[in-house]
Structure 1
């Protein structure tokens, strides 16, 4: 144990020295370095996925990457050329495949990449033979995306973190998580009174896991008796009672999110619930597992079972009173 003490001291000195040299003793540079390093991780502590929150108004969705070929000749333009890329294991283009060379192209052909991070691509090596596009090569490239990606305005890297959209009251409409520009984690939607509307699981931009939708009206505990609140009123439901209490415990103008989380947790903990409307299960964007629907009082309406996107069982239930 005593031998470890000098080693620990030496490592601490090395770390402090490195901190002073590399980051010039500025904590903001350390934060920026760690943010870049952990950008695409959902597990590392203090990564953007765990800590960053942006308003939905700042979110931009850019399309999948595509190669666009155009003839800039004034008249009798060429047409029909189509190209794609093949990717290596890191999603970098290994080269360009000409799917269709088209016809009638002049030497004034312009080729560009559209979609996510298109500014990181450049194609200037263009081979035209007898009006047909025969070959294209990248002069500048980056990772290629076959799916749309999310960005924050004026940022070049795909977004990682949480996005929040709110009603005019400050109540959250939707809360979603992104990892490297793709939906990843839970999407939560709420009604204007704060009650849950739905909750959906995504993995790398695909529906994967459980998707659950609720009816809007909360179901109070069976033994709830209206109580007088702090302003002398008796809210008719336990949900409204807790909403009133939250105004006493939180500053609603700045702590709406915390207040609503407290209401939901307390409501469920004390026996309140929400009737499920639809329960779904997904795997890699395909329906996989049970799909069940219920009416407002909990009677099952139908029950389907899917396997890899195909329905293998279907059952409809008679309406019950």
Structure 2
């Protein structure tokens, strides 16, 4: 593994602290990750970033995007379909702002068609360390293993495909996975405080599924302020050098997962045409900064763990089933 001191002396500090993290300019599964050494000593000469890893082949939409081995007829797709985008990121990851920027552009272009979840990772529990990320999600390990994530940033579409690299020049790529409706409707309600609450979810089906479906529930928070390492051209960094972006705004941060991150079973007899499955009073505990910026995301995954529909709602509201327009 190549070791590159990619951004020495990014901000002033009394102590010299070093965090060894895995971050790469490419998020391809076959990448060579870069060990980034962040030092918080007095700013000096900034090292030039190492060479960019060449991305390998990128998966394109194909038959594997169908839910499991079942393909519902078009007539059954009466509910709104949304694409799940999961961004595996860290405040210490200097190339992660490329994905953050890309997500912002996607939200501006087709935001009603996507559900975004930013899953943060920390490499240190010391707040004074360059590898510290206060938004770390402890429940992420099984999903990282399942997706075989070997470096950051990594951004997955529907827990199946990777956003075509480089994401910032392929903004429309996730939209290619949008379907003309879904046979699964999702209803969300919640009663959340600053640190806990309950969530109600309901699923309505217009197709007889024979495979095992599962659901995942995230609590998200927008507008979280914390520094972000940045070696990209975005967010005003025209220097060509890595730097810290102080007061960076982190959105769609996953604060907690209700149940397992790989999903909780939906009873087989409920995943049938004209059936409704409801789970009330799902208890959640988390840390938040602003209740008004909390949201709840719900995902349905197939037997292979691929997301086949998703929905998101503001906290303390009820979002009814959305019909396909």
TM bucket (normalised to shorter chain) is: under 0.3
Structure with the bigger percentage of strand: 1
Q: TM-score, normalised by structure 1?
A: 0.21
Tell me which structure has the larger Cα radius of gyration. Answer: 1
| Greater RCO (Cα-Cα under 8 Å, separation 6 or more) | 2
Q: TM-score when scaled to structure 2? A: 0.20
